[in-house]
Amino acid sequence: MIDFGFALTPSATLQIDNLDNKLFEQLRNIEPDVAKCMACGSCTASCSAGNYTELNLRKVILSLQRGREQDTLNSLKSCMLCGKCNIVCPRGINTRHLILSICKVYNI
Amino acid sequence: MKENVVIIGGGPSGIEAARRIRNFGYTPILIEKELRLGGHLAQWDRLFPEGVYAKEVLQTLLSDMDGIKWFTDVQILTINRLKDTYVIKLTNGISVQSKAVLITTGFQLFQAEKKEEYGYGIYNHVITNADLERYFQNRKDSRIDDPKVIGFVHCVGSRDEKAGNRQCSKVCCATAVKQACEIKQLYPDATVYCFYMDLRMFGRRYEDMYLEAQQKYGIRFIRGRVSEVSENHEGRLVVKAEDTLFGRPLRLSMDLLVLMSGIVSSHQSQELAKMIKLPVGEDGFFLPQNTILEPCKSQKQGIFFAGACTGPKTIPESLSEARAAAVAINDYFNTMTE
């Protein structure tokens, strides 16, 4: 290919039409409370690891819903399972358990 | 002699106020512009949060109309004040006199076609919240054809300065969530999205409704205002918005898009405000004497308000205000005779 000195970047738009939701549905089956998330960000605000790494549980959940898990899944490796997010979640989601389930379903 | 009380507007507030005013021993005269009483309530199928049928509520209200005079298909020609009495001329040639006038002219829905970018009246599969309620009532609408992907757009013509309405319509969030669950009941295989800016679940049990929408019905909430709607070559709608929580633009195609038309001041309120020089706010709704202590009293003696003519309200709120207005009118007559 001729190098013109510039390249097209892939589209930033979330294409929802061709979304493959199988893994997320699998996750919802074993962790139904994931649907209760209202994206308040308490988990992220309280996260010890999040202060020093890219970990953001709110974003992880959202990226799974939008089929963009590749954007965030790696960040879960920083989680120390301290469970602080579990204490602060206003919807009572067992976030610590949810993280373990995500790792199982998405094979991390 | 029994005193007359003229009530302008035969929606739920007007009907309930008429009943209560009658119970105080006055003769209510209810004036309605449409062919029948009931206002918007008559056009609605079910009410949030429990899903009570609007028809049942209206039937209960209308089951006890003894001692109330009412005129339908009638508008007001003129209102004049002679000493402490208002003389009201109606389009049916009748003229009524009353020392107290209660305004219950309610609201009207924002005309969704004004937000051209959403394509109401242009694309076949774009409907409004009111259209959907009519569909729930009679299951007839050629625009709804076994939809697989359905979207709800919150805040259409509300919280929108460019549309001339800065105010929040208050009840559409709960209505959207209610309708999303209802359409999912009709089409269990459909995927349903709600595009919202904020979810204002202010009332008792509304938050439960939201939780149920997420958990039981799997409604997908996307925080972001729809920017534009178009149609693709297959005749499907293509919706663009930003997923503001993700921070990325988003695009998806749909078979049905429901616009949550906001609440604006009614045409009749505007006319009345001009006719009797009653002050209205920037939003077009009547301004009461005191929004906290005297929400039912106008700034003019003998003129009272109830219901959504002073701003968006739920049905129970409107009914409570109708009762409060009846008390305020009774107090007014009592102070006159003292």
pLDDT tens per residue, range B54-93: 999 999 999 999 999 999 999 999 999 999 999 999 999 9
Average pLDDT score over residue span B117-128: 97
Q: Do A35 and B223 touch (CB under 8 A)?
A: no
pLDDT digit string, tens, across residues B12-51: 999 999 999 999 999 999 999 999 999 999 999 999 999 9
Average pLDDT over residues B199-210: 97
What are the pLDDT digits (tens) for B263-314?
999 999 999 999 999 999 999 999 999 999 999 999 999 999 999 999 999 9
In terms of domains, do B87 and B148 share one? no
Q: Measure B181 CA to nearest chain A CA, in Å.
A: 15
- Looking at the structure, tell me whether residues B122 and B56 fall in a common domain: no
At which of B247, B263, B279 does a domain end?
Answer: B263
Q: Tell me the sheet residues that pair with B220.
A: B193
Q: Is residue A79 part of a domain?
A: yes
For residue A7, what pLDDT is reported?
79
DSSP B57: H
Shared domain check, B203 and B68: no
Domain total for chain A? Answer: 1
Restricting to A residues 44-73, those with a Cβ less than 8 Å away from any Cβ of B are 58-59, 62-63, 65-66, 68
Question: What is the rounded CA–CA span in Å between residue B160 and residue A7?
Answer: 39
Cα distance from A6 to chain B (closest Cα, Å)?
A: 23
Q: Both B192 and B99 in a single domain?
A: no
Same domain, B205 and B82: no
Reported as a single tens digit per residue, the pLDDT across A11-70 is 889 999 988 889 999 999 999 999 999 999 999 999 999 999 999 999 999 999 999 999
Confidence of residue A1 (pLDDT cuts 50, 70, 90): low
Boundary-marking domain end, from B263, B289, B314: B263
Q: Which residues pair with B243 in a beta bridge?
A: B248
Residues B49 and B189 in one domain: no
Q: How far apart are the first and last CA of chain A?
A: 36
Transcribe A37-103 into DSSP letters: -----HHHHH-TGGGTSS--HHHHHHHHHTT-HHHHGGGGGG-----HHHHH-TT---HHHHHHHHH
Q: What is the pLDDT of residue A39?
A: 95
Domain membership flag for residue A4: no
What's the rounded mean pLDDT across residues B230-255?
96
Ordered strands of the B191-196 beta sheet: B126-128, B256-261, B149-156, B191-196, B220-223
Split into its structural domains, chain B has a count of 2
B94-104 average pLDDT score = 97
- B140 and B48 in a common domain: no
Q: What is the pLDDT of residue B35?
A: 97
Q: How many Å apart are CA B202 and CA B208, to the nearest integer?
A: 11
Question: Is the pLDDT score of B2 beyond 90?
Answer: no
Q: DSSP strand E in B91-142: where?
A: 95-98, 100-103, 107-109, 126-128
- Its domain, for residue B46, covers 4-106+266-337
Domain range for A92 is: 39-105
Together in a domain, B13 and B138: no
> Does the beta carbon of A14 lie under 8 angstroms from any beta carbon of chain B?
yes
Whether omega before B49 lies within 30 degrees of 0, making that bond cis, reads yes
Q: Same structural domain for residues B142 and B197?
A: yes
Q: Which of residues 223-242 of B touch A (CB under 8 A)?
A: 223
What percent of chain B has pLDDT above 90? Answer: 99
Does A5 have pLDDT greater than 90? no
| B189 close contact with A: CB closer than 8 A | no
Q: What is the CATH number of the domain that holds B79?
A: 3.50.50.60
The angle at the Cα of B167, spanning B161 to B171, to the nearest 5 degrees, equals 130
Measured CA to CA, the distance from residue B300 to residue B294 in angstroms comes to: 12
pLDDT higher than threshold 70 for residue B184: yes
* Per-residue pLDDT, A12: 87
Cβ distance B28 to B50 under 8 Å? no
**Same-domain status, B176 and B215:** yes
The confidence score (pLDDT) of residue B1 equals 60
Q: Which amino acid is at B93?
A: G
ipTM greater than cut 0.85? yes
Give the C-alpha distances (Å, rounded to integers) separating B121 from A10, B112, B298.
35, 9, 38
| Structural domain includes residue A45 | yes
Cα B61 to Cα B41: distance, rounded to the nearest angstrom:
11
Closest CA of chain B from A17, distance in Å: 5
> How, if at all, do strands B107-109 and B100-103 pair?
unpaired
Tokens of B156: 């259409």
pLDDT of residue B91: 96
State the pLDDT at residue A3.
82
Rounded-to-integer distance, Cα B250 and Cα B329, Å:
54
Among the three residues B221, B242, B263, which one is the final residue of a domain in this structure? B263
Under 8 Å CB pairs connecting chains A and B tally to 46
Determine the pLDDT at residue A8: 82
Closest-CA distance, A1 to chain B, in angstroms, reads 30
Nearest-CA neighbor of B144 among B183, B94, B193? Answer: B183
